[in-house]
Amino acid sequence: MILVTEWLASPGPELLAASGQAVRYEPTLWRDAPRLRELLPQAEALIVRNQTRVTASLLETAPRLRVVGRLGVGLDNIEVEALRARGIALVTASQANAIAVAEYVLAAMLHVARNLAAADASVRAGQWERTRLGGTELWGRTLGLVGVGEIGRRVARRAAAFGMTVLGYDPFVGPYDYAPTELGIAMLPLAEVLARADFVSIHVPLLPTTYHLFDAERLAQMRPQAVLINSARGGIVDEQALVEALSAGHLRYAVLDVTEQEPLPADSPLRASSAVLLTPHIAGLTAEAQERTSRLVVTEVLRLLAEGKTEAAP
């Protein structure tokens, strides 16, 4: 049986239905832990998004499980070592949403530069504030990328088309790798990237080494009146420190698609800040990205099951 515990975009359900495999698609199953543990003993494949916690304890209830499909790329809800120990394969939607996230970052920068929403609200209120609402340009500004992998490189290409200078920090990118040599990204130490960038966009995974990477000290290193964009994982930014940096006027604005706790708690100080734009983890959730993600993960899960063999999680 293939067990799907969260929402699966088309054509995933259709591909599963046509596969001849027994399928249980219950998109809200992740909310019902007892029901999930009841169904898992029959599952050969488990397909999840980011709410189902695939832990060593959960895997103990799934003796027949051979493959886990993750409808996305982040693995902070999956204990990869536990999969590896049991010889269970892991399928992810590698780069399927990279374009969507890159376009989100450009949209975030344009929102800050031109803020069409404020202009629209002003006109609707009977005003005509052309001078105040003219905004600024991205041309000639500097973008700093923290993490220069697939998404970071796609952001860089789009930023360059707007006439921006692109700086990058990534300890895994060498001086003659694709990013610096073909895209012209100037790879620098993190402190220098933060000190020079008008916009800083985060593109690293959430790991013990990146948790609260942007703490009070790091935020203080950012250029005054800079803008922080986080479409990676919420725990990378110390939210209280960010609110304080914004309140003090050191940073101009922040665009957060992810927060440390999701959904965002009602008492979060982020809600009260007018210098923060909040979106509900949608950067990679375009219709096109979801179609690619669904097709890629389901197709690969079905392939592994059909071959009768799996490889341990990477």
d(CA 204, CA 18): 37
Q: What is the dihedral of CA 288, 290, 291, 294, to 10 degrees?
A: 160
d(CA 245, CA 194): 14
Answer yes or no: are the C-beta atoms of 110 and 137 closer than 8 Å: no
User: 160 φ, ψ to 5°?
Assistant: -60, -35
Tokens for 109, please give them.
């920068």
Q: Which helix (H) or strand (E) holds 168?
A: strand 165-169
Q: Which helix (H) or strand (E) holds 118?
A: helix 116-124
Compute the residue count for the chain: 314
Q: Which amino acid is at 73?
A: V
Tokens for 198, please give them.
């008008």
Peptide bond into 11 cis (omega under 30): yes
Active site residues: 233, 262, 281
